[in-house]
Amino acid sequence: MKYLFTIACLAASVLASPAPPKGTFEWTPTLAGYMDVVFSYIQQAKSGAASPTCDLAKAAMPVAPTPLPTPSGLTLQHVALGRGVQNYTCANATATPAAVGAVARFYNVSCVASDWPDLLPIMPNLALQYPLPADPTGDLEPSNLVLTTHHYFANTTTPVFAFDAPESPDFGRVFTQKVNSSEAPTNSVVGPNGQGNGAVAWLYLTSRADTVSEIKAVYRLSTAGGNPPATCQGQDSAFSVDYSALYWFYS
């Protein structure tokens, strides 16, 4: 049996850590685990723990199962939580689904990466359980995250990251290319509510020559969902699969 899980936000003066949900959300084990960590930070803040610094020099990327190239000589500028869909097409019922890009909104988790790192790997799993906000510019619940970036493909091989939201850092529009990849860990979330075909690969992307931005490299990590079924049997000629992931931007 499912229950509704409701928590009111605590006063801003109390919080030196991520805010709990502002609304009413269906209880899931992922949400419960997230809230356990949030409230541990709230208790630390009440007891006088050091204030958050949002210093990205303290943030550390997870290591892929097949290690990706390191961002040697580069500086971490931004970390975002992506929530959207991976898109696929089917030539016929016996074909294998072909990847044709993705569309997603990205939300700022830079301070989480630097100050509350044990919350970070939970976030893609949590985001996958809930829809995107109806307001295209609205915060992502239940984590109260601010929109910073729109992600789409210029063509089937060119991922684009557009920092064009009101609260975006000034990184312009980043056109990228895939350089390396790793299969997602075997314990990754396969899809919403534990139903799906697996998590999409972890990626290392570099900016293309036509990019007008200081961003030089992008990592897609901690993926949840997004993989298509093995065949096109029973699928439409074009379909989408929900996914979430963390994106690390370096200059």
In DSSP terms, 248 is beta-bridged to 79, 219
Q: Are 18 and 38 in contact (CB under 8 A)?
A: yes
> What value does the mean pLDDT take over residues 65-91?
97
The residue behind tokens 């829809």 is 131
- pLDDT digit string, tens, across residues 30-46: 666 666 666 565 656 55
- Is 3 a residue whose pLDDT tops 60? no
In sign, the C-alpha dihedral spanning 186, 189, 194, 200 is: negative
Distance of CA 221 to the CA centre of its chain: 8
The pLDDT value given to residue 143: 74
Q: Is 222 left (phi over 0), alpha (psi -120 to 50) or beta?
A: left
pTM: 0.86
Average pLDDT value for the chain: 85
> What value does the mean pLDDT take over residues 130-159?
92
The pLDDT value given to residue 92: 95
Burial (CB count within 10 angstroms: exposed 0-12, middle 13-18, buried 19+), residue 13:
exposed
The pLDDT value given to residue 46: 56
Separation CA 103–CA 130 (nearest Å): 16
Tell which wins on pLDDT, 220 or 23: 220
> What value does the mean pLDDT take over residues 128-157?
91
Judged by average pLDDT, the poorest of 16-20, 23-27, 152-156 is: 16-20
Q: Which two tokens stand for residue 147?
A: 């929109």
The pLDDT value given to residue 116: 87
Q: Are 141 and 46 in contact (CB under 8 A)?
A: no
What is the dihedral angle through the alpha carbons of 30, 132, 61, 160, rounded to the nearest 10 degrees?
A: 160
Separation CA 147–CA 165 (nearest Å): 6
Separation CA 204–CA 196 (nearest Å): 24
- Is 169 a residue whose pLDDT tops 60? yes
The pLDDT value given to residue 74: 97
Alpha-carbon separation of residue 212 from 148, 171, 250 (angstroms): 17, 8, 14
pLDDT bucket at 17, cuts 50 / 70 / 90: very low
- Is 16 a residue whose pLDDT tops 60? no
The pLDDT value given to residue 130: 85
| Amino acid residing at 13 | S
- Is 101 a residue whose pLDDT tops 60? yes
pLDDT bucket at 196, cuts 50 / 70 / 90: very high
pLDDT bucket at 73, cuts 50 / 70 / 90: very high
- pLDDT digit string, tens, across residues 197-209: 999 999 999 999 9
Q: Which two tokens stand for residue 113?
A: 């990466």
CA atoms within 13 A on the CB side of 139: 11
